[in-house]
Structure 1
Amino acid sequence: MDHRAETQRAQGALAMLRCAHRFPGITRAEAAARLGLSSGSAADIMSRLRQARLLAEAPAPQTGGRGRPTTALVPHPEGPLVAVVDISHATWTVTTAAIGGTLAPAAAHRHLGLPAETVLPSVRDALAALHGPRLRAVAVAIPGTVHGHTLVEATNLRWRGVDLRALTDLPLAVGNDASLAGVAEALRGAARDASVALHLTVEVGVGGVLIVDGRPVLGASGAGGEFGHLPFGDPARHCPCGAWGCWDLEVDGRAMARHAGRRAPADPRAYAERTIAAARSGDPDAVAACRATATALGRGIGALLNAVDPAVVTLGGLGADLLSVAAPALHAGVRRGAMAWRRDDLPPVLPAALGSTGPAIGAAESAMALVLTEQTVKV
């Protein structure tokens, strides 16, 4: 076989592999149709992928129709895995994902706000316990500004200038947790198939990402999406990031405490959870605090609609909770923040479908992108 034909076969195999990852459970016939392959070519490619221990086939669910039974493309039982590190404001987890993106169960470990040099050795040990020939890459989701493999700043963790390459010798991807959650929503969640999607996650502050045709817009240095540090808040209020008037300070537990006449909580996330639970039970002070916070969140969303023009907005974390308990206030805030001509055709604002697993799912996608390349897939 000449070099050109061999290259075409390799590209066909990589396309089949990516298709199986993007559409878990897709049948061989559906994949062939999507990729423009004949049934014979698809069968040949699958034979090569099985031999390379990359994909396998399993009986497809019965549809009740006539015709020959077909098979679904599934990860090979000895196929490649990626490791996923998900560091939140309070916990960290380490797990794995196979082709198709399904995460293995993982235990959460509390880090109690300890410094990076105390927490990361335990993370590295957990990764080392996973090492083996199947593990091909690692991705880290973390609540902070990321540049390359460096955590520039995680304001609420008080981590700065942390080089995460010390975690592993494998190929590594690092991303902001909210940005990765947005990638996951665009590929597998509530924003699936939207041409332009805006994802926002509220935890301690708010972060997010703009997704265009399934790809995140991360800026020149990869640090884009820090929407929480736009000056949508009180210009007299100082943010831990060093700026004044940040939106972060208007949309989480710190804002809820202010609206209730209380001091800033030591744990804004936990305080917000308690306030939202009280609002669900009808507590009037909690309801008022949630409505005021939801209005501030909505006004910022309206401003972002003016700036980036998404087809859909998805909300994760406390954003989804505020949407559930104070939707009228949030939507009213969106309308007030949006330009008048937009108000008759505002995009939907939806709760994130993937919930708290969004950052890890997005991280798995980033790690798998390092694996599913012409340089690493040999068939």
Structure 2
Amino acid sequence: MPPTARPEHLRTEDARWRGALAVLGEMRRTPGVTRAAVAQRLGLSSGSATDITARLRDLELLAETPAPASGRGRPTTVLTPHLNGPLVVVADLRLEDWRCAVAALDGVPRTVAADVHASRAPADVVGAVAEGVRGVVDRYGDRVRAVGAAVTATVQHGEVVQASTLGWDAVDLGVLARELPLVIGNDATLEGVAEARGGAAAGAATALHVTIEGGLGGSLVVAGRPVDGATGAGGEFGHLPFGDPGLRCPCGATGCWELNVDGRAIARHLGDPEPADPRTYLLTALSSPDTGVRAAVARAAADFGRGLAGLVNALDPDVVTLGGLAWPLRTAAGPEFDSAFTGGLMRFRRAAPPTVLAAARGEDGALHGAAAVALDLFLTGTGLTAWAERH
């Protein structure tokens, strides 16, 4: 999902809508922002801000409500998405289930459909998700302007090429969107986008996000956009060779880091068979009072801290956010994690390491991220022109 150069005619459309896009961008970034605050941030006169918001109101892109009185000064309004405004539909395809949500221009997803996988056969899973998306699109009609999909899979050139935890190779998700614009992203990458744009890493120029679920993933987000490599498949941190080279990962590589930190690692340390559901196994282990289990958790936490230090050394983030079970693992064995993390940092970093925070979006992070990138597809000059023509 890297930014790409736009053709001249599209840049012309963007210029035509520059003021409108800037105002809508502020509304997205700061829910509940006032017109006066937007004008101040963008350097607009009061008259220009009033004219732009009136135009957007007429196009049913935003609504204005009186702001609470705050002392002297001219009254202003709070900017919110219009009740009849554009929407994006987003899907989150996870290891055991899927969810479908709808989001307005504020990017806040509201789940409207969900189900567990009847089977893990690609056709069955994709068919069920597509039916859920179609139901939402049929309900809202041409208010829906784009579809976003978060997938627990490796995504290259906007397509799923491998989903190791689901046992899939390449899978076509084009059926999710039919004629609508579609953007597909790895779930951990999109979680990172959500944290950088409005979560725990909001305001950070360079944010590192790492999550543990049925494996480990993450993303480096710079200026709100994921750094996902030449083909879009970057961020597969769980497959860095930080682990035991004698272990082969379902991805096909050996020594993958995620094999040392998720539920499979705990089971291996305890002499148990490899769990069918590593996430649930790890979640259970994290709350266990058993001495042996706690020792296994501490060992995994140390491996996690050491690997995270390696990422910090290589990527130099301002802040690190931990999603999924990464934060519970870190807190369940805090001394072991801290010792390994600090010990793995280069000496010059130890005086002021990046802050490590719990992700703020929780289990909805991928939905928030998918909504953000789907709205990016719509909020262009071309997208607004098409919406205006609808009126």
- The TM-score range, normalised by the shorter chain, is over 0.9
Name the CA distance, whole Å, in 2 between partners of 1:324 and 1:106.
33
Give the Å deviation of 1:261: 2.2
Offset, 1:18 = 1.7
1:75 aligns with 2:75: no
Distance change in 2, residues 1:136/1:6 (3 Å): closer
Q: Which residue of 1 aligns with 2:24?
A: 17
Q: TM-score, normalised by structure 2?
A: 0.91
Structure 2 matches for 1:130-279, cutoff 5 A? Answer: 130-131=136-137, 132-169=141-178, 170-278=180-288
Deviation, 1:258, is 1.5
Partner of 2:382: 375
Task: Name the SS for the 2:320 alignment partner.
Answer: strand
Question: What is the rounded CA distance, in whole Å, between the counterparts of 1:56 and 1:376 in structure 2?
Answer: 19
Alignment of structure 1 residues 310-329 onto 2, 5 Å:
310-329=317-336
Output the CA distance in 2 between the equivalents of 1:119 and 1:57.
Answer: 41
> What is the CA RMSD across the aligned residues, in angstroms?
1.6
- Residue 264 of structure 1 aligns to a residue whose secondary structure is coil
Match of 2:40 in 1: 33
| C-alpha distance in 2 between matches for 1:82 and 1:8 | 23
Aligned counterparts of 2:14 and 2:188: Cα–Cα separation in 1: 38
In structure 2, the partner of 1:348 is: 355
> What letter corresponds to residue 189 of structure 1 in structure 2?
G
DSSP-derived class of the 1:15 partner: helix
Q: Once the 2 structures are TM-superposed, how far is the Cα of residue 112 of structure 1 from its aligned partner?
A: 5.2
Q: Distance in 2 between matches of 1:61 and 1:122?
A: 45
Following superposition, which runs of at least 4 residues in structure 1 exceed 4 angstroms of deviation?
A: 5-9
Please point out which of 90, 93, 108 is paired with 1:84: 90
Offset of residue 330 of structure 1: 1.3
Further displaced range: 254-263 or 196-205? 254-263
Note the alpha carbon deviations across 1:321-376, whole angstroms, 9 max, x for none. 11221222112111222222222221111111111111110000010000100111
* CA-CA distance at 1:283 after TM superposition: 2.7
SS in 2 for 1:263: coil
The residue matched to 1:130 in structure 2 has which SS?
helix
1:284 deviation in Å? 1.8
Q: Which amino acid aligns with 1:222?
A: G
Amino acid at match of 1:70: T
Q: TM-score, normalised by structure 1?
A: 0.94
Give unpaired runs (5+ residues) of structure 2: 1-11
- Distance in 2 of aligned mates of 1:375 and 1:368: 13
Q: Secondary structure at the match of 1:241?
A: coil
Measured after TM superposition, the shift of residue 61 of structure 1 is 4.0
In 2, distance between residues paired with 1:105 and 1:151?
23
Whole-angstrom distance in 2 between the partners of 1:372 and 1:59: 25
User: CA 1:81–1:18 in 2, change beyond 3 Å: closer, same or farther?
Assistant: same
In structure 1, the gaps of 5 or more residues are none
- What is the deviation of 1:120? 1.1
What SS does the aligned partner of 1:209 have? strand
Q: Is the 8 A contact 1:153 1:161 kept in 2?
A: yes
Residue 47 and residue 165 in structure 1: after superposition, are their counterparts in 2 closer, same or farther (change >3 A)? same
Paired residue total? 371
Q: Describe how 1:57-76 pairs up with structure 2 within 5 A.
A: 57-62=64-69, 64-76=70-82
2:99 match = 93
Tell me if structure 2 keeps the 8 A contact 1:149–1:164. Answer: no
Q: Is the 8 A contact 2:13 2:382 kept in 1?
A: no
SS of residue paired to 1:101: coil
CA distance in 1, matches of 2:295, 2:71: 55
